[in-house]
Amino acid sequence: MPGTTAEKATGQRYQWADKNFNANYGGIPKNVRLHVTGKLYQTLPLYSSLGTTGVYIYASDFNVPARTASIHAESQVRNEYAQPRTFSYEVKILDREGKAVAAFSGPKLTLAAGATGTVSAAASVGRLNFWSWGYGYLYDVDTTLKVNGKPVDTVRTRTGFRKTEFGSGMVRLNDRVIQVHGYAQRTSNEWPSVGMSVPPWLSDYSNRLIVEGNGNLVRWMHTTPWKQDIESLDRQGIMQAMPAGDAEADVTGRRWEQRIAVMRDAIIYNRNSPSILFYESGNRGVSDEHMQEMKALRDQYDAHGGRASGSRDMLGNRTNEYGGEMLYVNKSARQPFWSMEYSRDEALRKYWDEFSPPFHKNGDGPLYKGQDASVYNRNQDTHAVENVLRWYDYYAERPGTGRRVNSGGVNIIFSDTNTHHRGAENYRRSGEVDAMRIPKDGYFAHQVMWDGWVDVERPRAHIIGHWNYAPGTRKTVNVVSSADSVELFLNGRSLGRGARSAGFLHTFADVAYEPGELKAVGYGADGKPVARAALQTAGAPAALRLRAITGPAGMRADGADLALFEVEVVDANGRRNPVALNMVDFRLEGPAEWRGGIAQGPDNYILKTSLPVEGGVNRVLVRSTTQAGDITLRASAEGLQPATVTLRTHSVAQSGGLAASSPSDGLPSYLERGPTPPGPSFKPSRLSVALTGATAGSNADAAAKSIDDDESTVWTSSAEAGKRWISYTLEHPATLTAASFKLSGWRERSYPIRITVDDQEVFTGDTPKGLGYVTLPLKPVQGSSVKVELTGATVDGDALKITELDPKAVRDTGANREPRGVLSIVEAEFYESPRNP
């Protein structure tokens, strides 16, 4: 559809046919399957083309600790015989080793000639392995139609079983709260030179990097992803949010009918995938009526799949089951709110910092649409730091921080892409890995911060950057760590503890470079080491090193498989030189096709047989032919020892041009994180104190809007002196230790305020600007009421440079609606410390 301009019957353009959101690669970039059936058969899940719904497998009555659930199978069956047919329906569940773990059947059914009906069966099954984050445990469910005891049609459905809940502002997976963290990714999910035409194992390779980097959710943007990526996330144990197909915002008329039709088809086609937890109605908010339609669609075709229906924004809507803005922080005690896109800045992997070749000073680059575009031309140092700053905004309001919480967010994007660029290059570089899936420092920063379901469970440390500089270089060293403090050592000599900020960032200013080892040691609250990281100075470039990356079963000679070759510039000891930029010449021999890679330079070096390493490493792709045999790749560079790798492609059985097996057959699941851990995923750090009422010096009738758990409403005082205050009554006397506010104009406006508890001052000062909520420490005073008053003039000025939001920033935050000199509160909450057990 993206290649067409309009719907033939109506002339209506497809809203998702947008080069910014859905790159058109042309042709047939995906596998094609041929289904051959008898005249009595289970239908395919292809509603628009065939009008059929296929097989639906789901679970209910979960007992997670006991590992039991009721497993249901439903099949739509069609009888194309000229006579009625009576048949039985049998179900067999096979584990990942192919062992039958359950078998059951439903009642016999008779279908009239030409009729279509639904048959079902269910049974309680024990000793189940529930699908979970980083535990992509899948079962094969065989549903068989038998006539006179003989099988006439069998369909195998690969699926997984997991329990989900969405409420109290949180997402629960298998009874455990999980704060979502991952990536908003274009559904093309493409690679250089081959676009979407990648084998399933390479989709697994890319997606596995997400879970190994401790991501747990992919929010596909704008259009439904292809089946290969959906199945890949099933195997990897990564949750996903599935959209229908849109460009931006709500639509009406035929355009809405198109979106409904696409969502219906996508639900029917993908409803057996356990990784799908969210159905997205639109890239931006939709009307209440449209949200009701989407929920009804879900209830009609996937009533038992345990999936929430929602959309971006939808802050004040009570019909959606999840929501959340782009870039800003939202909280809720109702449906979970998570950020649909955050930290959109861009940086080439080639640019370490301004002290490393090619010496890219942060922000250097052209304007974007007449605006400063420095945030889209970062180097790796500041890109990684920005990722830390932005994630901490969400982590600070995670479950366990009160009644109203934030459920996380997804960073845009995972891998650099050739859609919708804003910086100096002609492709987007917001990724935490580059287009060839080589990690940037931002990848490792997230790996540190995301290592837990909610609270960090496994402390880590990562030193941003490298340790190969010119003599005399002095620079700031940043360490990302979940430790309470970090000490830096240079060649065994302590440089002291870093300044901690944004929870995870430990900064060491003006570190003088000297060759050797730079080591970071993280310490827990008890002073004991909990994490370590080190960088070692590499010697001068001496040689190239090549390694081949293929699917688990090797490279298939099917004309479509790919091998990924990594080339590195290494020193005499085999250590990668992180500042090498050598040009490498490749020569391919044997039955294979060169596809190459990508690098900064003329035409991005697409399809070129010579291209440079960046930061000492690069990768290229080679595609198989239909002829099996040895392929050899040779790499050479001036002044360096060359490298050679040979691998053998193996033939694929086929008949008449059709293969009997799928390229995805036999691909393993990722199970490294293990089943859902028992016990809570967070330790409460503060407890909300319930409020029984609110009054104010002005606009008192709207005072309750500041505590109504609805970020689309606001209380605003008058500008009259002595009337710019609001007071709250506590449900019980409490010793308050902190207050959290969402204030109108939160990004641009600072408020000088005074807070008192029973007339005793507990805070005075200016509120900081941020991406949503500010938390203020309070002097611990016990009392029954809290008063917040404006003590002076508000101060405006953008504190966070987000280029993309500049034209509409004040509209988003409400700074244009509320005049200066008033106190304006969207939401307020007050906390006491957790009680000792």
CA 43 to chain centroid, in Å, comes to 33
Q: Which residues fall within 8 angstroms of residue 238, CB to CB, at 6 or more apart?
A: 133, 134, 136, 182, 207, 210, 211, 215, 216, 217, 218, 275
State the Cα torsion 682-686-692-694 to the nearest 10°: -120
Closest CA to 724 of 750, 756, 763, 697: 697
Q: Which burial class, exposed, middle or buried, applies to 635 when counting CB atoms under 10 A from its CB (0-12, 13-18, 19+)?
A: buried
Q: Which burial class, exposed, middle or buried, applies to 685 when counting CB atoms under 10 A from its CB (0-12, 13-18, 19+)?
A: middle
Tell me the two tokens of residue 229: 């990526």
Q: Which residues fall within 8 angstroms of residue 296, CB to CB, at 6 or more apart?
A: none
What are residue 59's DSSP bridge partners? Answer: 71
d(CA 350, CA 273): 37
Tell me which amino acid residue 521 is. Answer: V
Alpha-carbon distance values, 608 to 43, 179, 616 (Å): 46, 43, 18
Tell me the two tokens of residue 202: 């390479």
Q: How many CA atoms lie within 13 A of 62 on its CB side?
A: 19
Question: How would DSSP label each residue in 330-360?
Answer: --BSSS-B-EEEE----B-TT---TTSTT--
Closest CA to 217 of 372, 12, 394: 394
Q: What are the φ/ψ torsions at residue 27 (nearest 5 degrees)?
A: 65, -155
Q: What are the φ/ψ torsions at residue 386 (nearest 5 degrees)?
A: -60, -40
d(CA 714, CA 818): 10
C-beta separation of 90 from 143 below 8 A: yes
Tell me which amino acid residue 620 is. Answer: V
Q: Which burial class, exposed, middle or buried, applies to 133 when counting CB atoms under 10 A from its CB (0-12, 13-18, 19+)?
A: buried
Q: Which of 321, 341, 566, 614 is catalytic?
A: 341
Tell me the two tokens of residue 345: 């800045």
The residue ranges of DSSP E strands in 388-503, in sequence order, are 408-412, 461-463, 474-481, 485-490, 493-497, 499-501
> Angle, to 10 degrees, between the axis of helix 227-236 and the axis of helix 253-270?
50
Q: Kindly provide the b/e burial profile for residues 767-806, where b requires at least 16 CB atoms within 10 angstroms of the residue's own CB.
A: bebbbbbbbbebeebebebbbbbbeeebeeebebebbbbe
C-beta separation of 104 from 54 below 8 A: no
Tell me the two tokens of residue 82: 């000229």
d(CA 55, CA 272): 8
Q: What are the φ/ψ torsions at residue 276 (nearest 5 degrees)?
A: -80, 115
Count other C-beta atoms under 10 Å from residue 648's C-beta. 12
**341 is annotated as an active-site residue:** yes
d(CA 167, CA 178): 12
* Sheet with 474-481: strands ordered across: 461-463, 474-481, 505-512, 499-501
Tell me which amino acid residue 282 is. Answer: G
> Angle, to 10 degrees, between the axis of helix 253-270 and the axis of helix 288-301?
30
Q: Name the residues annotated as catalytic.
A: 341
